[in-house]
């Protein structure tokens, strides 16, 4: 009877083994497919994040001069000239902001010289000329310079700052009668 039972138990044992192999194979196939899908999703997410970081990095680089100018103006307007000079010295000397900061730090630096130094950045030049006038208490001259800044082509950030100054200081003067 033992041999009969052994003979009978073999076919189910073989079937169990075959089913085990088949189910293991199916399970591993499904895991492989899931891993491939997950990897594709991770790669797509990483690519999106990389593009976002690259975009933000580009925007950040474009904003550095503006942030430096804002920081500089804060220090300069509070008469912390040593700190303002440090800020200026931290930025690239070829940047227009560097010349603008130098103008504000050197009272002997005349507006005409700044305008000549920044022919393609006149909006910036007029803006810092306005800042110098404002600090000296010459509100009308500051308003004229800020209005001239608004009238020039150029940097939207500078134009927004000039517009803010004009709004806070009062009515906008006629740029046609303005001078630096």
Q: What is the DSSP letter of 123?
A: H
Q: Which CATH number fits domain 63-177: 3.30.70, 1.25.40, 2.60.40, 1.10.3470?
A: 1.25.40
Q: In whole angstroms, what separates CA 161 from the centre of its chain? A: 18
Torsion angle of C-alpha atoms 66, 71, 73, 75, degrees rounded to 10: -170
Q: What is the pTM of this model?
A: 0.62
Q: In whole angstroms, what separates CA 164 from the centre of its chain? A: 21
Instruction: State the pLDDT at residue 6.
Output: 52
Tell me if 103 sits within 8 A of 128, measured CB to CB: yes
Handedness of CA 103, 109, 110, 115 (dihedral sign): negative
Q: In whole angstroms, what separates CA 173 from the centre of its chain? A: 33
pLDDT tens digits for the chain (180 residues)?
455 555 555 567 777 777 777 778 788 788 888 878 878 777 777 777 767 656 655 555 566 777 889 899 999 999 999 999 999 998 888 889 999 999 999 999 999 999 999 999 999 999 999 999 999 999 999 999 999 999 888 778 889 999 999 998 875 444 444 455
């Amino acid at each position: 009877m033992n041999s009969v039972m052994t003979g009978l138990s073999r076919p189910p044992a073989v079937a169990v083994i075959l089913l085990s192999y088949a189910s293991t194979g199916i399970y591993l196939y499904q895991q492989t497919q899931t891993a491939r899908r997950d990897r594709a999703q991770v790669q797509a997410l990483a690519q999106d994040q990389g593009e976002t970081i690259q975009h933000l990095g580009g925007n950040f680089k474009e904003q550095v001069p503006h942030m430096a100018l804002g920081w500089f103006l804060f220090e300069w307007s509070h008469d912390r000239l040593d700190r303002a000079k440090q800020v200026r010295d931290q930025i690239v000397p070829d940047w227009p902001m560097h010349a603008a900061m130098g103008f504000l730090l050197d009272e002997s630096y005349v507006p005409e010289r700044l305008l000549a130094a920044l022919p393609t950045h006149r909006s910036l030049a007029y803006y810092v000329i306005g800042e110098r006038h404002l600090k000296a208490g010459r509100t009308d001259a500051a308003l004229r310079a800020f209005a001239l800044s608004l009238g020039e082509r150029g940097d939207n950030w500078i134009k927004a700052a000039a517009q803010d100054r004009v709004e806070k200081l009062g009515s906008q003067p006629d740029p046609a009668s303005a001078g630096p």
